[in-house]
Amino acid sequence: MGKEKGAIEVAPIEARWRLYSERLTEYHFCSIPIQRTVRGYESMFIEVRDSEVLNVYQMLVGLVTPRPIAWVTSRSADGLVNLAPFSFFNVFGANPPIVVFSPTLKRDGTKKDTLLNIEATKEFVIHASTEAHAKLINASSAPYPPEISEVEQLQLTTAPSRLIATPRLADAPWALECKLLEIRSFGDGPIAANLVIGEVVAMHIEESILGSDGIPDPRLLKSIARLGAEHWCRTQDLFELTRPK
């Protein structure tokens, strides 16, 4: 029987563990192998405090997946509109509605433009990240200098927000106007976290993404998300489970 087209080739356990060991040495992880797990695989143990930051980051973003993407417009004190994507993001409550995303420090330890803007203006807008905009979302992550607006550079159109001064993207199927509650920073080196905690004060929702029940339908929204390395994913392979009562 031939190999199924598109099948993923997996090396034998012994070969994979040799590769892991070589990579751990190369990447300066503090790690020791553990005995086989209950699923029959070898496992590794990584001592984070003795590992290099970039390698810890690569492991984390490869493990914690998929991650929704906050596509954020912010405004500088001079009125320049910045646009950037962040996959350290989620919603954390509804009463009041709370969103959190983290513009980590740059590799040189300095603050990103989005963080500086929100510190100055205390507001921002989070937009849908959909398959139709995937290339633009990725392009907006480029390291433009502070005096360059990604919105203008990518020739995107904005529309006024209703309750804050920062504009929103006119073509996004949804947008959340947010006011800053606080910023919690952890660490002061490369890729250190800055938790931007915002309250959603207004929502803009295009009818094209709503189902017959008036609720957003994931089959219509077509969100995308981030995985590890250069990988992204779609959200069209769905299944349903009824929550226990």
DSSP state of 218: H
- Mean predicted confidence (pLDDT) in 30-40: 64
pLDDT for residue 229 is more than 60? yes
DSSP state of 130: B
- For the chain, list the domains and their CATH numbers: 13-51 (no CATH), 67-234 (2.30.110.10)
Least confident of 47-61, 124-138, 158-172: 47-61
pLDDT of residue 1: 45
- Mean predicted confidence (pLDDT) in 168-180: 98
Give 86-145 pLDDT, tens digit per residue.
999 999 999 999 999 999 999 999 999 999 999 999 999 999 999 999 999 999 999 999
pLDDT of residue 29: 55
Q: Identify whether the C-beta of residue 122 lies closer than 8 Å to the C-beta of residue 164.
A: no
67 pLDDT tier (thresholds 50, 70, 90): very high
Alpha helices in 154-205 (DSSP H): none
pLDDT of residue 138: 98
Is the whole model's pTM more than 0.95, yes or no? Answer: no
Give 69-95 pLDDT, tens digit per residue.
999 999 999 999 999 999 999 999 999
Compute how many other C-beta atoms are within 10 angstroms of the C-beta atom of residue 194: 21
56 pLDDT tier (thresholds 50, 70, 90): very high
Contacts of 35 (CB under 8 A, 6+ apart): 42, 43
Residue 32: alpha-carbon gap to chain centroid? 30
pLDDT for residue 210 is more than 90? yes
pLDDT for residue 17 is more than 80? no
Rounded distance between C-alpha atoms, residue 16 and residue 44, angstroms: 12
